[in-house]
Amino acid sequence: MKGLGYKSIGTASVICRFTSEPFMTQPVQFFVFEKLQCEVLFGREFLRATQTLDIYQHRLRSIESTITASAAVRSISHVGECLKCWLDGIPVRSLPDTGANVNLISSEFAEILDYHNGPGGKTIQVGEQVWIEFADCSTARIEGTIQLTVSFCPPKETNGVLKLIESSGSSANKTPARGIKALQSNINIIEPFHIIKDLSYDVILGETILTTVDAYNQHSSGFSTPEKRKEGCIAIARKKKPGEGTQHPKTLRNPEQKFRDKFSLEYDRYQREKESHEDERLHGRISDKEAQIKCSQTDQNHLEWLRMHREPLE
């Protein structure tokens, strides 16, 4: 995040499955790091592919904790996706980080917006000392905080101003405001941005504002991919109000994606069959021995399927 790479020590393939339909059981490759700001991070590519950021946000839950959370940004690697927005009327392609609980701006871009300590500069709040924690557990002290007007359409098309009650950075462990369905897509939002020297990106938008404006649905046309890379930026999102979400056109899938779907169907079948045998036993429809035999046969069938598809699994 500050111009330095973060090298993984290896990879691990783990079977992942959502707790509600669609289960989408599939093997997911994780990069393994010696140190990480939290135990598990799901990448943008996975969240986008499973439509977790827009269609199925019911999967996401806020984590309640009595421990004060630090101000954190959890993106790793190169930009996989940008979101166009306007800060104080100036267009910029920001990094959307749904794992961040603060908004960040580089000192260089802050100067472009005329926020600096020299004569005639706009006001920078420098009283509070805030440290930002990054995904690799490194930290950086902010140079100050500024209040910016954020919009997702050109200034001449905006209408009205909104200041969030629980803004990004007001408290690191507050639950962000949920996406408000009635919120105008052309409204201006006043949000605090922490200034970081040598930040790799001009602007990083945190979870609060992304969730509030329902960015992945209401402003989907503002997203773009600057360049294709294997790694995706890390992101964690929150759930939004029921009923929100729009369908997106299906994209062509490569052979690996097709096999993941095939594997998901097989694994779901396997799990359902095992659960059915257990249900029959619990209700007395079959004996314990019969249930054991049926489960053993189900295991054998699943192992046979895995053997038949050993090459794509590897």
Q: What is the pLDDT of residues 5-46, one digit of tens each?
A: 677 888 999 999 998 888 888 898 888 988 887 888 887 888
Q: What is the average per-residue pLDDT within 258-280? A: 81
What's the CA angle centered on 238, arms 232 and 239, to 5 degrees? 125
pLDDT at residue 55 tops 80? yes
- What is the pLDDT confidence band of residue 1, given thresholds at 50, 70 and 90? low
CA–CA distance, 125 with 112 (Å, rounded to integer): 17
pTM for the model: 0.64
CA–CA distance, 189 with 212 (Å, rounded to integer): 10
Domain 65-167+183-224 CATH assignment equals 2.40.70.10? yes
- Report percent pLDDT > 70 for the chain: 79
Instruction: Provide the token pair at 166.
Output: 């629980």
Give the number of other CB atoms < 10 A from CB of residue 314: 6
CA–CA distance, 175 with 108 (Å, rounded to integer): 30
Q: What is the pLDDT of residue 202?
A: 93
C-alpha 10: how far from its chain's center? 22
Cα 175 to Cα 88, 109, 240: the distances in Å are 26, 28, 12
Cα 110 to Cα 115, 125, 200, 221, 237: the distances in Å are 5, 13, 13, 26, 27
Question: What's the mean pLDDT when you consider all of the chain?
Answer: 79
Delimit the domains of the chain by residue range.
65-167+183-224, 255-313
Q: What is the pLDDT of residues 66-102, one digit of tens each?
A: 555 678 787 776 657 899 999 999 999 999 998 888 9
Instruction: Provide the token pair at 115.
Output: 């926020």
What's at 36, amino acid-wise?
Answer: L
Q: What is the pLDDT of residues 161-199, one digit of tens each?
A: 888 765 555 444 444 444 445 477 888 999 999 999 988
Q: Among 38, 106, 50, which Cα is nearest to 74's? A: 38
The residue written with tokens 């095992």 in the block is 274
Computed from CA positions of residues 200, 225, 53, 88, in that sequence, does the dihedral angle turn out positive or negative?
positive
Q: What is the pLDDT of residue 69?
A: 64
Q: What is the pLDDT of residue 81?
A: 85
The residue written with tokens 């393939």 in the block is 13
Q: What is the pLDDT of residues 232-251, one digit of tens each?
A: 444 444 444 444 444 444 45
